C-alpha cells in the first residue's frame, strides 16, 4: 500500500524520466534532421577566388532553364529553347539546363560544370536525371555534363558526338543560338529514349484530391440535410449517391476507383453529417467548418494550391509557436509571483544555455547545420525550463515539449524554395564530354 506521499514522489520520478527521454530524443532527432542534407558542406554557389588565389567564375543562381550571362543568345532563341526544355521536363520529369558564360576563369570547364551541377542539384533526387550544357564563349569550350541516371542513355562517347556533330559545327560558324538548339534537341531525344520513372503530374494530383474532398463534402451535407425534419432521408441518400456518381464520372480514367470509394465515404461521412445536426453546438461547428473549407477551395482556385498551402503553413506554425511559447511565459509569471528563487535559478540556467548555444553556432561559422539543432534545443529548453514552474508538475510540460519537438522537426526538414525553378536534388559523377572549337 503506497502512501500518498510516496505516490507523488513516484509520479515525480516518472515525470523526470519521461522528460529526460523526450529531451534525449529531441537532441538525437535534431542532428539527424539537419543531416538529411549531404554530409559534406555544400559547395558555395557564388565564389570569386579559389583557395590558391585563382579567379573562379561565379555560378549564377538558377532562375530559368536557359541562363546566358554573356549576352550571346537573342530573346527569341532563349524563349524557343526554354519552351522546348519545358515540354521535355514536364513529359519526363528530368531537368535540362543550358548555361552560357563568357569564361570559366582559371578552372577547367569540367570543374566549373561539375561545380554548377552540384550547386544546382539538377535532376530528381535518387534518379539523378539532370543534364547541363555549358558554353564558355570566350574560352571557346563547350561541355555536356550528364547526371548519374542518364549515363546509360548518354554515355561519354554519345555526349562527345552530340557536341561534335550538332553543336560545334554551328559554333564554328558563329551561330550560337542554333548550335545550342540543335544540341538541346539531340539531348532531349537521347534522354527520352531512356526508361526513367514517370514524372509526378502535379495538376492531376490536385484535381483528384479535390474530387475526393468533394465526395466527402457531398456525403456530409447529404447527411445533414437528410436529418432535417420534413426531409425524407431515403430520398436524400439516393440523391447523395447520384451526386457522387456524377462527380466520379467527371474524373476520366478514375471513374471505377471513385465508384469503389463511394461506399466508404458514404458509410463514414453521411452519418457524420446526420449526427452533427443533432446538437446545437455541433451544428454551429459544422457550419463554420463548411464555410472554412469553401473559403479554402476558393483561395486555392484563385491563388494556386502551393501559395495557399504555404500561407496556411505559416499561419499554423505561428499559431503553434504562440501556443507553445505561452507555456513558458505563464510559467515564468507564475514563478515570479510564487517562487522568486526558482524563477531566478531558471533565468540563470536559461541565459547560460542561450549563450552556450550562440557560442556553438558562432564557432561553427553560423552554419545552418548547427543552427537548427541549437535552435531546437533552445526552443525545447525554454519550454521545459519554465513550464516546470507551473503548478501541476511537468506532465503538461512533457506533453507540450514532445509535440513541440515534432512540429519543429517537421519545420526544419521542410525545404522552402521561392524561386520558380529549383534543382531536384540530383547528382552527377563528372560524366559527359567537352569540346573546344
Number of residues that bind other proteins (CB under 8 A): 39
Q: Which stretch binds other proteins (CB under 8 A): 77-85, 108-116, 252-260, 418-426?
A: 108-116
Q: How far is the CB of 370 from other proteins (least distance, A)?
A: 12
Find the binder of other proteins among 104, 141, 388, 412 (CB under 8 A): 388
Q: Does 35 bind other proteins (CB under 8 A)?
A: yes
Pull the grid cell for residue 432: 559527359
Sorted by sequence, the CB contacts under 8 Å of residue 160 that are 6+ apart come out as 433, 435
Min separation Cβ 272 and other proteins, Å: 44
In three-state secondary structure terms, 424 is coil
Least distance from other proteins to the Cβ atom of residue 96, Å: 19
Measured from the CB atom, the residue of 38 and 291 that comes closer to other proteins is: 38
Q: Which of 1, 2, 4, 39 binds other proteins (CB under 8 A)?
A: 39
> Within 10 A of 423 (CB to CB), how many other CB atoms are there?
20
**CA-CA-CA-CA torsion for 251, 253, 254, 260, nearest 10 degrees?**
120
Please name the residue that has the C-alpha cell 521561392.
Answer: 418
When binding is defined by CB under 8 A, the residue of 40, 252, 391, 392 that contacts other proteins is 40
CA distance to 154, 410, 418, per residue, from 406 (Å): 43, 6, 24
CB of 430 to other proteins, least distance (A): 3
From the CB of 45, what's the least distance to other proteins, in Å? 16
Q: Work out whether 430 is an interface residue with other proteins (CB under 8 A).
A: yes
The count of other CB atoms within 10 Å of the CB of residue 271 is: 15
Measured between its terminal Cα atoms, the distance across the chain in Å is 92
- Collapse the DSSP code of 259 into the 3-class scheme (helix H, G, I; strand E, B; otherwise coil) and give the result: helix
Supply angle C-alpha 373, 378, 384, rounded to 5: 120
CB–CB of 97/133 below 8 Å? yes
Return the residue matching grid coordinates 492531376.
204
Stretch touching other proteins by CB under 8 A, among 36-44, 206-214, 234-242, 309-317: 36-44
Torsion of CA 143, 148, 151, 154, to 10 degrees: -40
Residue 12 makes contact with other proteins by CB under 8 A: yes
Contact between 24 and other proteins (CB under 8 A)?
Answer: yes
**Minimum distance of other proteins from residue 156's CB (angstroms):** 3
Cβ 13 to other proteins shortest distance, Å = 9
DSSP 1: -
| Per CB under 8 A, 16 contacts other proteins | yes
| Residues in touch with other proteins (CB under 8 A) | 12, 16, 19-20, 23-24, 27-28, 31-32, 35, 39-41, 110-111, 114, 155-157, 159-160, 345-346, 349, 373, 377, 381, 384-385, 388, 394, 428-434
Amino acid at each position: 500500500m503506497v502512501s500518498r506521499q510516496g505516490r507523488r514522489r513516484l509520479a515525480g520520478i516518472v515525470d523526470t524520466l519521461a522528460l529526460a527521454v523526450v529531451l534525449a530524443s529531441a537532441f538525437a532527432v535534431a542532428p539527424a534532421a539537419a543531416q538529411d542534407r549531404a554530409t559534406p558542406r555544400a559547395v558555395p554557389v557564388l565564389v570569386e577566388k579559389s583557395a590558391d588565389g585563382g579567379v573562379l567564375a561565379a555560378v549564377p543562381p538558377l532562375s530559368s532553364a536557359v541562363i546566358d550571362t554573356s549576352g550571346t543568345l537573342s530573346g527569341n532563341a532563349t524563349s524557343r529553347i526554354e519552351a522546348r526544355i519545358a515540354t521535355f521536363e514536364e513529359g519526363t520529369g528530368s531537368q535540362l539546363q543550358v548555361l552560357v558564360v563568357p569564361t570559366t576563369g582559371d578552372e577547367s570547364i569540367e570543374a566549373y560544370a561539375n561545380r554548377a551541377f552540384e550547386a544546382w542539384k539538377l535532376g530528381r533526387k535518387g534518379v539523378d536525371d539532370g543534364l547541363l550544357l555549358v558554353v564558355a564563349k570566350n574560352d571557346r569550350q563547350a561541355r555536356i555534363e550528364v547526371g548519374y541516371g542518364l549515363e546509360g542513355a548518354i554515355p561519354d562517347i554519345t555526349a562527345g558526338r552530340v557536341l561534335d556533330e550538332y553543336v560545334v559545327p554551328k559554333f564554328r560558324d558563329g551561330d550560337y543560338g542554333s548550335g545550342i538548339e540543335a544540341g538541346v534537341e539531340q539531348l532531349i531525344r537521347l534522354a527520352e529514349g531512356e526508361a526513367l520513372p514517370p514524372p509526378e503530374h502535379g495538376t492531376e494530383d490536385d484535381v483528384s484530391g479535390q474530387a475526393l474532398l468533394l465526395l466527402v463534402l457531398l456525403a456530409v451535407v447529404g447527411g445533414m440535410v437528410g436529418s432535417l425534419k420534413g426531409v425524407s432521408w431515403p430520398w436524400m441518400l439516393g440523391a447523395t449517391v447520384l451526386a457522387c456518381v456524377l462527380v466520379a464520372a467527371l474524373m476520366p480514367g478514375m471513374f471505377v476507383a471513385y465508384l469503389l470509394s463511394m461506399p466508404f465515404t458514404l458509410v463514414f461521412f453521411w452519418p457524420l453529417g446526420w449526427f452533427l445536426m443533432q446538437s446545437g453546438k455541433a451544428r454551429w461547428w459544422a457550419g463554420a467548418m463548411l464555410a472554412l473549407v469553401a473559403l479554402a477551395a476558393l483561395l486555392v482556385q484563385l491563388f494556386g494550391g502551393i501559395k495557399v498551402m504555404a500561407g496556411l503553413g505559416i499561419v499554423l506554425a505561428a499559431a503553434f509557436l504562440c501556443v507553445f511559447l505561452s507555456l513558458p511565459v505563464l510559467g515564468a509569471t507564475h514563478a515570479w509571483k510564487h517562487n522568486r528563487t526558482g524563477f531566478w535559478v531558471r533565468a540563470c540556467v536559461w541565459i547560460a544555455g542561450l549563450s552556450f548555444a550562440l557560442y556553438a553556432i558562432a564557432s561553427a561559422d553560423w552554419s545552418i547545420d548547427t543552427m537548427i539543432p541549437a535552435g531546437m534545443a533552445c526552443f525545447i529548453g525554454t519550454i521545459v525550463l519554465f513550464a516546470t514552474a507551473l503548478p501541476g508538475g511537468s506532465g503538461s510540460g512533457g506533453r507540450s515539449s514532445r509535440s513541440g519537438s515534432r512540429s519543429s522537426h517537421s519545420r526544419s526538414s521542410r525545404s522552402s524554395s521561392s524561386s520558380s525553378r529549383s534543382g531536384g536534388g540530383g547528382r552527377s559523377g563528372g560524366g559527359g564530354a567537352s569540346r573546344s572549337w
